[in-house]
Structure 1
């Protein structure tokens, strides 16, 4: 499938940002629909079945979190890959978005290349299909997408810790879940970052979110 066949919904309260993203994606031959409200966004999803959604945390009269919950609770739409964009680099926004089922999270200001790469990655990783062609016997299941470098370099415990990070769990929550000390979790995080050559603030969180997402497969 060529890029020009992909349909993208951009939903955000900031009209200037919508125009900027729309111009960028149109330039790269994507078919772009836009909205500023969750209600209209759901209508567009049901009407046009976008291949991916790019959504702001803040929407007019609502929030991106509310929109994502509606999307994931609708069996005809829950397969759609979802990218959050936020006005600030906040762990709480990132954690909330990933817990609700987002597939990636970009903090503003972000470069055009980052958005394009995220979209291409999501479109490549997910099985894109037309819901209208599914019959009532079709079942959608999700399976973890495991990056090869993480699979080969990390121990089972380290990989489990990274999965929990991708799910939005804090160091304290991971420690309680695994029944280990906070210091041990911190050591695991340090070792994971070192093995994967990750540096910088929140680099491990971003890596986990971008790579340990869910792929969707269709069982007929």
Structure 2
């Protein structure tokens, strides 16, 4: 599971990241500004975003999440020092999974995130079961290529790592696109492999 932490105070961001890694071992990324968020989200494709509301940037966390929700699918937890009912009501218009009040400590953070993580893991298990027929149609080399694509390796790099010719890798890419019913666009396989990396790991 990939979790993105959006927090403009680096000490708090690092604290949250450390607790997540210690408690769950999930893949994490930190964005300290809106510019970093806009660069990270399309490539990192988080399953869960932990977002501070007051970002001291060109928009606050609520406005930012409204924009991201239009283009991306993820679960959301707000982490903030705001405690007013008005602010909480505005935040919950986005249907976040939870709302954690600062100051943070290990117990508060864990209790605020655990129910969401449990629910997401259950949904993920169901998705893996449903996707098994798709993954089973992929050969060992095709799964290996998709994993490398998810790690942003080029065709030439994949060929070198798998001891294949670049021409063979290109053929594999075409076959994978057909099997997954994807258009053969530049980012189609990258987007699919990032979104479904957990399925590849099970395959």
TM range (shorter): 0.5 to 0.7
**What is the DSSP-based 3-state SS (H/G/I as helix, E as strand, rest coil) of the residue aligned with 2:28?**
strand
Aligned to 1:30: 26
1:100, CA displacement in angstroms? 2.3
**Match among 7, 27, 31 for residue 12 of structure 1:** 7
Aligned to 2:156: none
RMSD: 2.6
Unpaired runs of at least 5, structure 1: 1-5, 137-220
Aligned to 1:144: none
Aligned to 1:49: 45
Preserved contact between residue 99 and residue 112 of structure 2 (Cα < 8 Å): no
Preserved contact between residue 98 and residue 113 of structure 2 (Cα < 8 Å): no
1:43, CA displacement in angstroms? 2.7
Unpaired runs of at least 5, structure 2: 129-149, 151-176, 183-203
1:116, CA displacement in angstroms? 2.0
Residue 67 of structure 2 is aligned to residue 73 of structure 1: no
For 1:43 and 1:107, locate their aligned partners in 2 and report how far apart those are by CA, in whole Å.
27
1:135, CA displacement in angstroms? 6.4
**Match among 78, 83, 95 for residue 84 of structure 1:** 78
- Mapping of 1:63-212 within 5 angstroms? 63-74=60-71, 77-78=72-73, 80-126=74-120, 127-128=123-124
Q: Provide TM-score, normalisation by structure 1.
A: 0.51
Preserved contact between residue 38 and residue 63 of structure 1 (Cα < 8 Å): no
Q: Deviations over 1:7-34 (max 9, x none)?
A: 2110011122112112222222222100
Q: Provide TM-score, normalisation by structure 2.
A: 0.55
Q: Which has the higher contact order (CA 8 A, sep 6+)?
A: 1
1:71, CA displacement in angstroms? 1.7
Instruction: Give 4+ residue runs of structure 1 displaced > 4 Å after superposition.
Output: 132-136
Aligned to 2:165: none
Instruction: Count the aligned residue pairs.
Output: 127
